[in-house]
Amino acid sequence: MSLAMFMAVGAGGALGAMSRYGVAQLVGGGLFGIAGPMATLVVNVAGSSLMGAIAGGIAAGMSLPEAWRGFIAVGFLGALTTFSSFALDTGQLAARQGMAMTALYVGLSVGLSLAAFFATQALVTAFFGRMPT
């Protein structure tokens, strides 16, 4: 891993994070308003679509230098939405391992992530005496 690659990923990540914040502001819900889930939906779908375009292009023989892949796929899309990485991993798993393993991966990813969220939220609530905002 080179310094140039780290810089490319970092620059893409900064741009992706600012883009995610901008989408949340444009949707109108701020960071934790009622429109928050809509902003998350927008960036998840858009990011997954862009990741699909990159994966499809590379599979079709498109040449994209490693630093640009790092900037776009890891940095920008990784900061914009981690769901794009989940979509890419799921697609690659389906192609390599079949639908049974893919269904298990999706179920475990969603189920365990939600369980971890709710369990930790309950622990924090019990410790501090109120729901985190």
Prediction pTM value: 0.70
Residue boundaries of the structural domains of the chain: 3-81
Q: Residue 102: CB partners within 8 Å, gap ≥ 6?
A: 90, 93, 94
Whether the Cβ atoms of residue 101 and residue 93 lie closer than 8 Å to each other: yes
pLDDT tens, the chain, 133 aa long: 799 999 999 999 999 999 988 888 887 665 555 556 677 778 888 888 888 888 888 888 888 899 999 999 999 999 998 788 888 889 989 999 999 999 999 999 999 989 988 998 888 888 877 655 5
Whether the Cβ atoms of residue 35 and residue 29 lie closer than 8 Å to each other: yes
Name the one residue in this structure whose structure tokens are 């697609």: 91
Q: Which residues of 19-45 are buried (b: 16+ CB within 10 A; e: fewer)?
A: bbeebbeebebeeeeebeeebbebbbe
